[in-house]
Chain A
Amino acid sequence: MKTKSAIKPRNSKIYLYLLPGLAIYAFVVLVPLVMALRYSFFDWSGGPNMDFIGLDNFVALIQDDVFWQSFRNNLFIIIMSIIGQVGIAFLIAVLLTRSWVKWKQFHRTVIFIPNVLAAVIIGFLWSMIYNHDYGLLNYSLNAAGLESWISPWLDDPSIVMASVTIPIVWQFIGFYLIIFMSAMQNIPDELYEAAKIDGATSWKQTWHITMPMLKSTFRVAIMLCIAGNMKVFDHIFVMTGGGPGSSSTVMAQYAYDVSFNRFELGYGSAVSIGMLALSLGLILISQIIGRGEKE
């Protein structure tokens, strides 16, 4: 990975280049992060009165059932998304290089479109699809003679997570698709040409050339997937409000509720720090798995 090279500028020069970006970043992200870390040691409802309570907030966090339930919900969304978003997006990206696939231009153009729409629109539309009485889904099941499959998709705590995850996966496939499409252009054509001469089928080329060449893109995509899905909130809020009960509550909604509905800013900060720690943990795990495969 690390490279010494003749063209390397002096370190001082490198730092100078990094400075403007780092400065803005430190000011907007790192300083407030430290402030949030500090708040998490206080009982604070957002005014001049702050009581230092040590690690109490974190002790409460570890015993907080709703927090852990929301974490499990996030985990579920992440796993589904890695398979659904990254997986399907890659598949489509590959398919769009195949000669027998029709309407490529149309697919390439429109698959990204859901990304530009607000979560309210997506959430609202899917609520209608799931609606028990006149929703498209139950209607189709009925028409297909599958009456026994008809369910209250958003009202049954045991299936609600699956129901709310599908729209999220669906909406962001286009996002990963353009990431893969842009990365695939960086793969030298010569590799494919050489493979063709060797008589490799197109799927073999995908397996032996595209996949390995996109390794770091996969890593970035999975990381974005984890990072993005640890923060999802709006869609689910529009569809279920986090219910029934707290069965579809995710961490970001919980952090928001604690800070802004309950007004417990100290504990809210602890929730946010907890989220950050768990996200970091997940990313580390994914990186270790990724590295393990390489060796």
Chain B
Amino acid sequence: MGRFKVKKQDMFIDMTPMSDVMVLLLTFFMLTATFVKDEPVKVNAPGSVSEIKIPEQNLLTITVNPDGKVFLGMDSPQNMEKLADKMKETGSLTLTAAELEQFKDVPMLGTSIDQVQQWLKLENRNEYLNKGEKAGIPCDSANDELKVWVGNARAALGEGEKMRIAIKADKATSYKVIKDVMNSLRSIDENRYNLITSLAGEDK
């Protein structure tokens, strides 16, 4: 095949520019990537056609699992600390310095207020949220602690855009619980919030 006449060519393609570009791209994506935060309670949000993106900062997420247990999380340890400080100020919950350190790094809360300190002592905190009998923030009309948490968070972070509330519930969650959560938010005059959904999967 012509090999006898043509001098054997060096078929080595220089990959350096390509790898340069690739590394650049990689760096870009790595820096812009927002990773899913550690969520102890997994929920499967229903799909929707809505295309509004969730704000990333100063977000208070109320998670409701399929069993109807309510959990609460803040987006950053700083905000958790502010929340704890406010709770202390209003006398709802007083934590020691050591407990505060732990409280800051908790991705999600989910016990009644009087249980929080005990819960912080646990080794398997996140597991407890999923399996513990007393997990879940009480949110019915008889004992509404969710409104204490949210009210304090609002007081700690400020009005309006300074803190957004998002409700993230599972597909299978009963509307009864959602109604309780909504009523609880309504009672403290929180009438604007976001419902977290995933990308539409069904007929569009």
Instruction: Tell me if chain B binds chain A.
Output: no
